[in-house]
Structure 1
Amino acid sequence: MSKKNKNIQEPKSEFIFQKKNYTFMFIGIAFIALGFILMSGGGSDDPNVFNPDIYSFRRIRLAPTLVLIGLGIEVYAILLNPHKKKK
């Protein structure tokens, strides 16, 4: 009886994502957070006064681009297979 128990292997529990996946995920989150931080601000305290700074290059072009790059990195991190062998 004890001999049979030794031959039976218990299944190893393994995470789907490895360290490489999480590294890319944190990089993607950092890009997204930076994009949202750069998008913030530019408002006016007085609703009767228009602040044209809301249409700056940083808020219209740079910040959304960083958010989209971050989302792309997140997709790559999810689809990345760390177990794939290099040829």
Structure 2
Amino acid sequence: MLFDKKKYWWLIAAVVLLTLAYVLMSGPANSETSQFDESIFSFRRITLAPLLIVGTYAGLIYLILKRTKNACSERKGK
């Protein structure tokens, strides 16, 4: 197995967080094309969603690169 069961749960949680962040960034559609909508500059779209995305990707990189205890003991035994 590539990862242990705990890592797979963390990967699933990260995918859910990324999906949530992209949904937060998109927001509702503007039905009036001739009017400017100030909601595109909201805290949620400009700050919260990008921070959530960057944090989740950083966590994913750490999770993938982190060695598990089983992998370390298997390498020492060989």
Task: Please tell me the TM-score bracket, short chain as reference.
Answer: 0.7 to 0.9
Give yes or no for contact 1:30–1:70 (8 Å, CA) kept in 2.
no
| Per-residue CA distance 1:13-66 (angstroms, 9 max, x = gap) | xx1211122122112112211111111124421211111011000000000111
- Given residue 35 of structure 1, which amino acid in structure 2 is its aligned partner? A
Q: Which runs of 5+ in 1 are unaligned?
A: 1-14
Measured on the aligned residues, the alpha-carbon RMSD in Å equals 1.6
Q: Which of residues 33, 36, 39 in structure 1 aligns to 2:22?
A: 36
Unaligned runs of 5+ in 2: 74-78
Aligned to 1:18: 4
- In structure 1, what is the Cα distance between the partners aligned to 2:3 and 2:13? 15
Higher helix share: 2
Which entry has the higher C-alpha Rg, 1 or 2?
1
CA distance in 2 between counterparts of 1:25 and 1:76 reads 11
For 2:61, give the aligned amino acid. Answer: V
Contact 1:38–1:63 (CA under 8 A) maintained in structure 2: yes
Identity of paired residues, percent? Answer: 32
Alignment of 1:56-67 (within 5 A): 56-67=42-53
Q: What TM-score, normalized to structure 2?
A: 0.77
Of the candidates 49, 52, 56, which is equivalent to residue 70 of structure 1? 56
2:39 alignment partner, one of 53, 58, 62: 53
